[in-house]
């Protein structure tokens, strides 16, 4: 069932004139997949005027959930009320995946199918803004069309440059150097840059432009959406005719430690160019929708969106709701309170959006070349703000980064602040690839520092204070990161405090995790559940000893070694399944697991070590596989509730006191 949220505005444009489009909303009712189930969706009517800045030959429509679930192939004949030249399904890739059951794991897809509605684009034969508005009104008469709208324009967020203050002052200001003590690279993390492109030949970006092993037009993920096509034009070597996207990309991932230029937040990362802006920096809604839908379909987990507009677009909102990754958005540069004057996508209130304002090196709200605010009566060229709309602030004044033609330049604006947060998100995800989008967002917010900025007061009251959050990458990464050894393949602990549930990643910083080290989680008394990836072959000495609240353990299916005292005194552990790859359970491995009631042993187990299950008082029965040749001293001593034991036919030796104190056990 889907209940559409109230839809407000689209992307925001820096221009001399603010063009505002209005929508009216009403409810319609439809049947769900169960014919007895009735649900409502909001139908949104476009009330824009010919004065608005929109394409003169394109209409974007959103279909109802009921219509979406038909998986129909649409042609112009399905929309006879308009004189159409062509029709494109902007969500065709997703529809095909669902219709053909090609998604093996919908839960892990970056498309949210509960929020998914099909979006179509119709190109008209006659270029005329009047014709666009007339056609929209005709389409709105149909119940299965939730909204119809023109494709409007936006612009990249820029402000005039100030004089150069210092090279990359922002890195230290947000504790990047401290974070680099934990991780510097995000080799396996894809970051999509929704912008004017990226100069892929810049020497500081060249090695971080994502290329698959076989690099051709069929495998490349880089796309140019400015032609309006749903999947974009495949690009082998991205370019940037504007320069804005290259500057943004450098802040995220200019190659670090390469003896030239600058360093991005991530020394290495997989930058994906998703070009949605033309040479002049203008963006059409259609292009942005296509890019976001595409990013979801190819599972790009983080998108940098240093652009915005003040136009309503239900279709854009649908695309954002459907995308399950993190969309990091610029708050804008007009000095406004975007709680009261919403700008989009920054002002959308969704869990997957993180909106970024700009500060200077003194933790003041960034202001650029222009005039100062006079008692709140006049505007200024400054970072937008908003108590609820702006989540976090990052450096946005005089930021040095890459520009085309192998050059570097300082630019200012929330466009520059946003990629600091995007880069931080990529670095965090590299250290813990199992983070959900919401967990990733929360880690960035919860790790932030509190600062106080000045915002305009009311009337003649002058400025007033507002408490806000400033990005602190070091704090944030310590909320989610695992500690590893020098080679990176062994978990030796965590940077974060004890958590209830831990899901260990298969890879950290592009290195496969194969071992849980000695004492890695020892005495994590708050730990309730642990998932150990299938890459792990070795659980070390006392790895989980004393985890007294641990109740659920999912062991690696490729586990070979469980060393002494690995789960000793895990008093709440009730059941355990030993994978078939395990040949030896070492001494005291599960000693003192007093609540352990069920044990499924490996079919390839050879030996059970001394005191392996000593004191497991709740264990009632055990089947010893025929592969076991040795049960060592005190292996099951004190298992007072043990009533049934089936021994291996190939058992060679049973150690002293192996079943001592098993008072409920008869003959074996």
Per DSSP, 397 falls in state S
Q: How far apart are CA 208 and CA 203, in angstroms?
A: 10
pLDDT digits (tens, 9 = 90+) for 621-667: 898 889 999 999 999 999 999 988 988 788 888 999 999 998 888 66
3-class secondary structure, 407: strand
Instruction: Give the lowest-confidence range in 101-105, 249-253, 459-463, 556-560.
Output: 101-105
Confidence of residue 566 (pLDDT cuts 50, 70, 90): very high
Average pLDDT of span 372-382: 49
Q: How far apart are CA 244 and CA 279, in angstroms?
A: 10
Average pLDDT of span 515-532: 94
Confidence of residue 15 (pLDDT cuts 50, 70, 90): very low
Residue 378 scores a pLDDT above 70:
no
Per DSSP, 554 falls in state E
Instruction: Give the lowest-confidence range in 5-19, 41-55, 402-416.
Output: 5-19
pLDDT digits (tens, 9 = 90+) for 409-439: 999 999 999 999 999 999 999 999 999 999 9
The pair of structure tokens assigned to 25 is 């909303």
Q: How far apart are CA 233 and CA 220, in angstroms?
A: 10
Q: How far apart are CA 329 and CA 348, in angstroms?
A: 10
Question: Given this model, what pLDDT does residue 72 score?
Answer: 86
Per DSSP, 77 falls in state G
Instruction: Give the catalytic positions in this structure.
Output: 195, 244, 415
Residue 506 scores a pLDDT above 80:
yes
The pair of structure tokens assigned to 300 is 């790009």
Confidence of residue 462 (pLDDT cuts 50, 70, 90): confident
Question: Given this model, what pLDDT does residue 163 score?
Answer: 30
Residue 113 scores a pLDDT above 90:
no
Residue 192 scores a pLDDT above 90:
yes
Residue 5 scores a pLDDT above 80:
no
Average pLDDT of span 15-35: 45
Q: How many residues does the chain have?
A: 668
Q: How far apart are CA 545 and CA 562, in angstroms?
A: 12
Q: How far apart are CA 76 and CA 88, in angstroms?
A: 10
Question: Given this model, what pLDDT does residue 94 score?
Answer: 76
Instruction: Give the lowest-confidence range in 26-30, 445-449, 526-530.
Output: 26-30
Question: Given this model, what pLDDT does residue 9 score?
Answer: 26
**Phi and psi at residue 127, in whole multiples of 5°?**
-80, 110
Report the percent of the chain where pLDDT is more than 90: 63
Its sign, for the CA torsion 391, 396, 400, 405, is positive
CA atoms within 13 A on the CB side of 485: 13
pLDDT digits (tens, 9 = 90+) for 115-154: 788 999 999 988 888 899 999 999 999 989 999 999 876 6
Question: Given this model, what pLDDT does residue 457 score?
Answer: 80
**Cβ(554)–Cβ(568) below 8 Å:** no
- Mean pLDDT in the chain? 86
Question: Given this model, what pLDDT does residue 157 score?
Answer: 55
Confidence of residue 107 (pLDDT cuts 50, 70, 90): low
**Phi and psi at residue 334, in whole multiples of 5°?**
-100, 10
Q: How far apart are CA 242 and CA 419, in angstroms?
A: 17
Question: Given this model, what pLDDT does residue 37 score?
Answer: 53
Residue 33 scores a pLDDT above 80:
no
pLDDT digits (tens, 9 = 90+) for 151-176: 876 666 533 232 322 478 899 899 99
Please report the DSSP string for 316-340 in residue order.
Answer: HHHHHHHB-SEEEEE--SB--BTTT
More confident residue, 21 or 51: 51
Confidence of residue 445 (pLDDT cuts 50, 70, 90): very high
Q: How far apart are CA 369 and CA 346, in angstroms?
A: 23
Per DSSP, 498 falls in state P
Question: Given this model, what pLDDT does residue 518 score?
Answer: 94
Question: Given this model, what pLDDT does residue 26 score?
Answer: 58
Residue 381 scores a pLDDT above 50:
yes
Please report the DSSP string for 459-516 in residue order.
Answer: TTS-EEEEEEEE--HHHHHTTTPEEE-TTS-EEEEESSPP-SEEE--SEETTEE--EE
3-class secondary structure, 419: helix
Which range scores top for mean pLDDT: 28-42, 60-74, 125-139, 424-438?
Answer: 424-438
Other CB atoms within 10 A of residue 285 CB: 28
**Phi and psi at residue 296, in whole multiples of 5°?**
-65, -40
3-class secondary structure, 442: helix
Closest CA to 158 of 336, 13, 11, 284: 13
The pair of structure tokens assigned to 76 is 């112009």
Question: Given this model, what pLDDT does residue 497 score?
Answer: 80
pLDDT digits (tens, 9 = 90+) for 299-349: 999 999 999 888 778 999 999 999 999 999 999 999 999 999 888 899 999
Cα angle: 263, vertex 506, 556; to 5 degrees = 165
Per DSSP, 248 falls in state H
**Ranges assigned E (strand) in 495-562:** 501-503, 507-508, 511-512, 515-516, 529-531, 538-539, 552-554, 561-562
Average pLDDT of span 110-119: 81
Average pLDDT of span 571-583: 92
Task: Sort strands 119-124 and 54-63 into parallel, antiparallel or unpaired.
Answer: antiparallel
pTM (2 d.p.)? 0.82
pLDDT digits (tens, 9 = 90+) for 225-236: 999 888 899 999
Per DSSP, 372 falls in state -
Closest CA to 446 of 494, 496, 388, 387: 496
**Phi and psi at residue 571, in whole multiples of 5°?**
-65, -20
Question: Given this model, what pLDDT does residue 116 score?
Answer: 84
**Cβ(131)–Cβ(124) below 8 Å:** yes
**Cβ(337)–Cβ(386) below 8 Å:** yes
């Amino acid at each position: 069932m889907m209940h559409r949220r109230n839809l407000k505005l689209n992307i925001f444009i820096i221009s001399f004139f603010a063009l505002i489009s209005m929508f009216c909303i009403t409810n319609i009712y439809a049947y769900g997949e169960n014919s007895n189930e009735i649900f409502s969706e909001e139908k949104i009517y476009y009330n824009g005027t010919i004065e608005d800045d929109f394409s003169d030959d394109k209409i974007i429509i959103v279909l109802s959930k009921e219509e979406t679930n038909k998986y129909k192939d649409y042609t112009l004949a399905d929309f006879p009320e308009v004189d159409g030249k062509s029709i494109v399904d902007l969500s065709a890739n997703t529809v095909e995946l669902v219709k053909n059951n090609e998604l093996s794991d919908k839960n892990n897809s970056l498309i949210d199918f509960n929020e998914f509605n099909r979006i179509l684009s119709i190109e008209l034969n006659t270029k005329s803004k009047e014709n666009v508005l007339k056609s929209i009104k005709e389409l709105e008469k149909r119940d299965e069309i939730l909204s119809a709208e023109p494709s409007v324009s936006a612009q990249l967020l820029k402000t005039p440059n100030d004089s150069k203050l210092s090279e990359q002052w922002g890195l230290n200001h947000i504790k990047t150097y401290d974070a680099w003590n934990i991780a510097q690279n995000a080799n396996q993390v894809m970051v999509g840059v929704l912008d004017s492109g990226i100069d892929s030949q810049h020497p500081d970006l060249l090695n971080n432009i994502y290329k698959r092993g076989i690099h051709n037009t069929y495998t490349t993920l880089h796309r140019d959406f400015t032609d309006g096509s749903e999947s974009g034009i495949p690009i082998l070597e991205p370019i940037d005719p504007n320069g804005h996207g290259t500057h943004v990309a450098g802040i995220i991932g200019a190659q670090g430690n390469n003896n030239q230029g600058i360093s991005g937040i991530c020394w290495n990362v997989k930058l994906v160019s998703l070009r949605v802006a033309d040479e002049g920096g203008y963006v059409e809604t259609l292009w942005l929708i296509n890019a976001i839908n595409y990013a979801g379909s190819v599972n790009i987990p983080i998108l940098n969106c240093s652009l915005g507009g003040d136009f309503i677009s239900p279709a854009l909102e649908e695309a954002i709701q459907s995308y399950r990754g993190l969309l990091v958005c610029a708050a804008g540069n007009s000095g406004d309170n975007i709680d009261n004057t919403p700008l989009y996508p920054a002002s959308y209130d969704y869990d997957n959006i993180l909106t970024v304002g700009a500060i200077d090196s003194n933790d003041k709200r960034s202001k650029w070349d222009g005039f100062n605010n006079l008692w709140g009566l006049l505007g200024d060229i400054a970072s937008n703000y908003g108590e609820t709309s702006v989540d976090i602030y990052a450096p946005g004044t005089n930021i040095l980064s890459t520009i085309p033609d192998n050059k570097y330049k300082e630019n200012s604006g929330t466009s520059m602040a946003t990629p600091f947060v995007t880069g931080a998100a990529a670095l965090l995800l590299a250290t813990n690839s199992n983070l959900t989008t919401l967990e990733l967002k929360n880690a960035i917010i919860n790790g932030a520092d509190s600062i106080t900025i000045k915002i305009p007061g009311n009337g003649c009251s002058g400025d007033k204070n507002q408490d806000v959050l400033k990005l602190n990458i070091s704090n944030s990464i310590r909320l989610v990161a695992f500690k590893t050894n020098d080679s990176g393949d062994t978990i030796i602990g965590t940077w974060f405090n004890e958590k209830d549930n831990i899901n260990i990643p298969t890879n950290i910083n592009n290195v496969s995790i194969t071992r849980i080290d000695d004492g890695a989680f020892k005495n994590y008394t708050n730990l309730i559940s642990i998932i150990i990836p299938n890459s792990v072959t070795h659980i070390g000495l006392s790895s989980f000893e004393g985890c007294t609240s641990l109740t659920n353990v999912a062991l690696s299916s490729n586990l070979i070694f469980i060393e002494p005292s690995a789960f000793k005194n895990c008093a709440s552990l009730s059941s355990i399944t030993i994978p078939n790859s395990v040949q030896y359970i070492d001494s005291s491995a599960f000693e003192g697991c007093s609540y352990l009631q069920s044990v499924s042993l490996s079919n390839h187990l050879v030996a059970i070590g001394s005191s392996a299950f000593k004191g497991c008082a709740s264990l009632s029965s055990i089947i010893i596989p025929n592969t076991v040749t040795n049960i060592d001293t005190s292996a099951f001593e004190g298992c007072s509730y043990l009533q049934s034991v089936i021994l291996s036919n190939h058992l060679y030796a049973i150690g002293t006191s192996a079943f001592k104190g098993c008072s409920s056990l008869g003959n074996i």
